[in-house]
Every structure is written in structure tokens, then in C-alpha cells.
Amino acid sequence: MGFAGKVWRLLVGIKDGLVLLFMLLFFWALFAVLTARPSPAQVREGALLLELDGVVVEERTPIDPIAALLSQSAPVGEYQARDLVRAIDKAAEDDRITAVVLDLDGFLGAGQVHLQDIGEALDRVRAAQKPVLTYATAYADDGVFLAAHASEVWLNPLGGAVVAGPGGNRLYYAGLLEKLKINARVYKVGTYKSAVEPYTETGMSDPARENANALYGALWEEWQANVKAARPAVDLDLVIKTPAEWVEAANGDLAAASLSAGLVDKLGSRVEFGQRVAELVGEDDWSDLPGAYPSTPLDAWLEANPWDRNGKAIGVVTIAGEIVDGEAGPGTAGGTRIADLLDEALDRDFAGLVVRVDSPGGSVLASEEIRDAILRHKARDIPVAVSMANVAASGGYWVSTPADRIFAEPDTITGSIGIFAVLPTFEDAAASIGVNADGVRTGPLSGQPDLIGGFTPEVDRILQASIEDGYTDFITRVAEARGMTNDQVDTVGQGRVWDGGTARQLRLVDEYGGMDEALAWVAGQADLGTGEWHAAYLGDQASTADTILRQLLMGEEESGSRDVFAMLAEGESARAGMIVNDAQRLLTTRGAQAYCLACPAPASARAQGARTVDGFFARLAAFFAD
């Protein structure tokens, strides 16, 4: 028995040792995967290949692996606009890259300012005598915009291009809430502050319609002017004004119609497109597949071309997405997270600060938290500039007020200086099912706010007075920052949304320009010349784990080709996401809001809409599974 016991202990020891060894090997492999980075050795002589399977955003949202697994669907790809511009500019000056190829088969869109920045970068490639080629099965407005800046635009013969223009319907729930006997109590200031209208109206109010017509009209004119300038041969009037006649003249062949109108240059399969690229950049020695050509993907190219870190640092903080209380983000502007980033950078010797804003606003408290943190940097006597991207409205304008100089593009959407809150009460719904509220009060505010029993008139008056005071705070901050009176700000405020060109005329913006112009202005104020400074993005540490997760979840065939019908159907996912978001906005606890619902939905909202819908149905499925 003693011998058998010793053998048993030996076997158990061997087993434990093997388990420990395998665990060590597993965690070593996991560490190697999560710390892996694209290798600069992957850079090849040939084309820079930009496969834009998703949306272009200001700031990429990290992947939540648990949510991704629950949704049982691949996350929508997100590409930071500044990364794309940097990659394209580096390609223009690097002899290893002889062409830039944009694969837009899975492209879901971008904000108009981002489109303009990328288009201008593509123009610089062509100015360097390098061709730019695009391929897609279906081009929508944003794809048409980018393709206009290419030297060759290819289209699958079974596809087509469609130009719709900005605008469209949004949903109004007043009739539904009435049927459900839910009272949406609205407190707001601003004739044009239409963010609450979906809960109180059955359709768009006259002031909201007036504002939307002016805003969308200005954006649409800018879009057309840019496309016509980049692609003079295109017959946009035919495509936009008589779309049905245009397609019918081609016997319903949308690809042929797109070719005849000058939206595309050539019809061909993906293999034929690849063969054309190979003619320009050379044959692929690594692959014998039809249509193969030597190319370098975006991640490897960015890794081979890191940001310049020479000279003195100019801090850049990004405020992207809805502004919310707490630590949310990146991709959502959590007030506490952004304020902490700014405060942690107070001991860094920044020559100045640029605040990059791409946000329709949100929480007033979070906006003020961010504003205070920016002011702490300004108190160090360094220049502070704001660079507005696609949207810097409502709370997005609130956080811009500390700036010494505000830069925006004509396509930027800004203003929406107004404030609101909406709270649902259910006294009518409760009464309809036989539930009544009663009790003893020692004062008008006893037991208030009461979502089931309803609000007293005193509560309504206090909440409205608080919102009016918040609006006074808003216009006072703007007036002090812009050298205007409160009355002047109120005239251009009242929740009205402006395009960047009009905002400049109204003194809400100082100068046209993007990030480059804002950085150059700060450098000039700090007496720094060319090559004596670099941009230091706060919190901009690339997550290798996130990159690996995207590769694992999205795979090689994340989107695939889609025809025009599939492209048009994708809007339904965004609409479903809008319904879920609208319901959450009404029913979840929120404070006073400086939010622009009238602003066109950013491209990132498509990704967010998909994540919201997937997450909602995943939670619903899990509920019933339990």
C-alpha cells in the first residue's frame, strides 16, 4: 500500500505539473495575442488598400466582448477620420505606394466634414501623380462623395449609385403616448429646441421645419458644390432632380444609368478591377488568385507611419458622441472621463490645447464638468482653440465656450443653444387599470416628484424655472466667451441650429478650418514654428486587445458585397435603433439636457444604432430564455 500511495502521489504531481504547464502556455499565448501589433514588415510596394467596412468616426468606440457575444453579430467597423487622412497623406509622399485603393463595398458613411477631409487628402495623392481608385457594388451619398475625388470609379455591373440628399422623416410618439396614457412632461427654453417634439407632437412644428429646411439646404448646397468641383463631368442635376426618368432611360439598369451620368467611370467585376489595379502597381508575387495585386492594409500602414513626436507637445482632447455623466467612452463623451483626462494632463508642459468637438451635446452637468476642466488649462495661460468637426451643437457648443479661437468648416453643424428636460408620469395609465394614488401631504412638495400620482403645480413651476435658469447660464457663458450681450446670444439661440458658414457670420465661430488650422493657430500663439511642435492626443493609446477582438469578431468577410436594395434596407436598422434610443431617452433618468435632436444623425449613430438594437434584442432573448 505504501508503494501504491507513492505511485499515486507521483501521478497526481505529474498531472498537477502538466496542468500548470498548460495554464502557463495558455496565458503566454493569450498575452502574445493581446500584445500583438501589425508589423511594419507587412508594408509592400504597390497599393495602399483602404477597406472601409463600416463608418468613419471622430473617435472609435472600444468593443465590449460580452455585448458582442450576446448580440451574436459582428460589430460595425469604425475608422478614425484622422487615421485615414494621415494614412493617405503618408501614401502621397512614400515611393513604396504607387496607388491608393478604396474598397467601399461595406462603407456605411461618414459625417460631411470627415468626408471633406478625406476627399482633400485623396486630392493630394492625385496631385502627387498617383492614381486613386474606388470599387463598390452600391454607392450612396457618402460613397459618391469620396468616389468623386478618385481618378477611376469602378462599379459592379449588377450594382448602382443612388444620391438621395440629406433629410428624411423622424418618428413622433405623441399619439402612442396618449394611447398608453403616459404624460411626457416637458420643460424647455428655445422656440427651435425641437428635441422634445417627438414626445409632444404628432409631426414637426413650423419653427423646427423652418430651421431644418435652412440647415439641410446649406449642407446640401455644400455637398453638391464639392462633388461638382471634384468631378466636373458628373450630371448631378439629372441624378437629383429627375431620378426616376434617369433610371428609366437606362431601362432600369442602374449601373448603366450611373455610368451615363458620370457618377462612375467603369463597370466591371472585382476581378477585373483587381486586374486594372495590377496594371498600375504591378503583379502580386504572393498570390495567383484572379485579380490579386500587391497591397498594404490600413493597420500595417499606420503602424509603419507613427505619429510625429518631435518638438513641444500641443494637447488635444476629443469630445465625441453624446455628452453623458460619468466615465463613458471613448466614442461617447463621458464628462468625468474627459475631465479626468484633462486634469491628469495639467502637469504636462503643453504649449497649448486644442479641443476637438464632434458632439450633438447631452447632459448639462457633464458639459459643465468638461468646460471647467478646460478652463483649468486655460488658467495656465496657454492658448486654447476649439476645432469643430461634423457637429458641435448644444452641449457641444457649451464645452466650446472657453476657447480663445473657434474653428469650424462650412459643413459643420453648430448652435442649438437651448436646454430642456423631459420626464414621464403615469397617473392616467395607473388610473386606467384601477390604481389610484392618495395620501397626506405636509406641503406642496411632500412626496414629490411622484411619477405614479403625478406632479403638483409647484413641482412643474420649479422645474421650468430651473430650466430657464439653465438657459440663462448657457447664454451668459456664450456671451462672455464671444463678446456679445445676452440679448444678442438669445437672438441666435433659442435652440436654433446653424451651418458653419452662417455661424461664422453670427460670430459663433471665428474662422474656417479644421484640426490642422486649429493646431497651427495654437502653435503660432505659442511662438512655435514648423517642426517645433506635435499633437499629443489625450487618452489616445491604441488598444491591441481591441484590435484583436475586432479581427476575431469581424473576420475576413465582415460585410461582403451588397447591392442597392441591401444598401437601402440598412436604414431600417438605424430606424429601429432610433426607436430604442428615443424610448430610453424618455424613460431613463436624465438631468437637464443641452442636446440637439434636430442635427442630422452622425455616421457613428449607424454603428451605435446597430449595437443598441442588437443589445436590446439580445437582452430580450436572454430574458425569455430565463
- Count of H helices and E strands in the chain? 24, 22
Locate all alpha helices (DSSP H) within 526-563, ordered by sequence: 544-554
Q: Would you tell me how many other CB atoms lie within 10 Å of the CB of residue 552? A: 13
> If you write DSSP's letter for every residue of 294-350 in order, what string do you get?
-EEEHHHHHHHSPPP--SEEEEEEEEES-EESSS--SSSEEHHHHHHHHHHTTTS--
User: How far from chain centre, in Å, is Cα 573?
Assistant: 16
Is 403 within 8 Å of 373 (Cβ atoms)? no
The closest alpha carbon to 428, from 417, 437, 438, belongs to 437
Whole-angstrom Cα distance, residue 235 to residue 244? 14
Which active-site residues does the annotation give? 193, 394
- Asked if 313 and 324 touch (Cβ cutoff 8 Å), the reply is no
Q: Return left, alpha or beta for 531; rule: phi > 0 is left, psi -120 to 50 is alpha, else beta.
A: left
In contact, 359 and 388? CB cutoff 8 Å: no
For residue 460, what are the contacts with CB-CB under 8 A and spacing of at least 6? 185, 187
In angstroms, the first-to-last Cα distance of the chain is 51
- Give the C-alpha separation, 468 to 592, whole Å: 11
Give the amino acid at 1: M
Residue 425: phi, psi to the nearest 5?
-125, 155
